[in-house]
Amino acid sequence: MAQLRALIFDVDGTLADTERDGHRVAFNRAFAEAGLDWEWSIDLYGKLLEVTGGKERILFYIDTYQPPFDPPADLKPWIASLHAAKTRHYKQLLNEGIIPLRPGVKRLIEEARSAGMRLAIATTTTPENVSTLLETALAPDGCDWFEVIAAGDIVPQKKPAPDIYLYALEKLNLKPEECLAFEDSPQGLKSSLGAGLKTVITLNGYTRDHDFSNASLVVDQLGEADAPFQVLSGSAGEAHYFDLALAQTLHRSS
Ligand code: XBP
Ligand code: MG
């Protein structure tokens, strides 16, 4: 039986609840700045999350909700510059400190670090979004806590394809059976499972009604000693919150 050597974390929805009050707001600010009358409501954004990646999400929105849209320039570079403005607004929101890490995230990462567990990130979002979140919400040197930060356009296909997890595994030089992944979405779970990783799901407002039956454990949050998690599926034994001992137990179980 392989030893557990690394924890690999998704970012949006898993480390922090970034989508509704972060990414969505940043997209809307970029649209307004560009003189567009597009407004992504909380409900509409839930539907748009089906498509991962901000540039891909804008293209999907144009195709589905705005035809026939006549872009002011070539579509791809125009979307790229609109998306760059969105990234600027998103980082500004993070710098305002309005989006904290989810319960238990910092505690688990600190525990894993002290125990010598290797840490990695596998996300669809833009690399500078990840570093800004880690530096503002985790620790000023938070990026250095992760051996591999696999993010954005570095792989051919975004989640639900397994590419980003396979990339992280390759950089870690580890096999999937030596790692445990943390995700929040069906697209993320498909990606991590596709790379052969056992996966823990922490649900959020946008993902709580989805099917996660193939996950090793589904909880509402990682939880804290004084704020226990709720187990939605799988077994957490006697645990009331997610710690490294539970990660080891899940990793060992078939
Ligand atoms: C979530 C996503 C991302 C963000 C937007 O990624 O789908 O697209 O919503 O990020 P994950 P960008 O859960 O894998 O972290 O606009 O920077 O693409
Ligand atoms: Mg996610």
**Residue at which a domain ends, from 54, 70, 95:** 95
- Say yes or no: 62 and 156 in one domain: no
pLDDT at 72: 82
CATH number, position 53: 1.10.150.240
Region 112-138: mean pLDDT is 98
Tens of pLDDT along 34-64?
999 999 999 999 999 999 999 999 999 999 9
Q: Which residue among 52, 55, 134 has the greatest number of ligand 1 atoms within 8 angstroms of its CB, and so is best to mutate?
A: 52
The number of folded domains in the chain is 2
Tens of pLDDT along 183-202?
999 999 999 999 999 999 99
Confidence check: pLDDT of 1 > 80: no
pLDDT at 67: 81
The answer as to whether 51 is a domain residue is yes
- Say yes or no: 121 and 28 in one domain: no
Q: Give which of 196, 205, 208 is closest to 216, Cα–Cα.
A: 196
- Say yes or no: 127 and 170 in one domain: yes
**231-233 and 217-219 as β-strands: parallel, antiparallel, unpaired?**
antiparallel
pLDDT at 161: 98
The answer as to whether 201 is a domain residue is yes
Tens of pLDDT along 212-251?
999 999 999 999 999 999 999 999 999 999 999 999 999 9
Ligand nearest to the CA of 158: 1
pLDDT at 73: 80
- Say yes or no: 186 and 221 in one domain: yes
Tens of pLDDT along 159-178?
999 999 999 999 999 999 99
**Residue at which a domain ends, from 95, 123, 144:** 95
* Phi/psi of residue 229, nearest 5 degrees: -80, 165
170-193 CB burial, b ≥16 within 10 A, e <16: eebebebebbbbbbbbbbbbbbbb
**Angle subtended by helix axes 105-114 and 244-252, to nearest 10:** 80
Q: What is the mean pLDDT of the chain?
A: 97
The answer as to whether 47 is a domain residue is yes
pLDDT band at residue 254 using 50, 70 and 90 as cut-offs: low
- Determine whether the shortest distance from the Cβ of 192 to ligand 1 is under 6 A: no
* Domain housing 211: 6-17+100-252
Region 125-132: mean pLDDT is 98
Report the C-alpha gap between 132 and 4 in whole angstroms: 28
**Residue at which a domain ends, from 77, 95, 113:** 95
Q: Which atom of ligand 1 is nearest to the CA of 152?
A: 18
The answer as to whether 1 is a domain residue is no
- Say yes or no: 62 and 177 in one domain: no
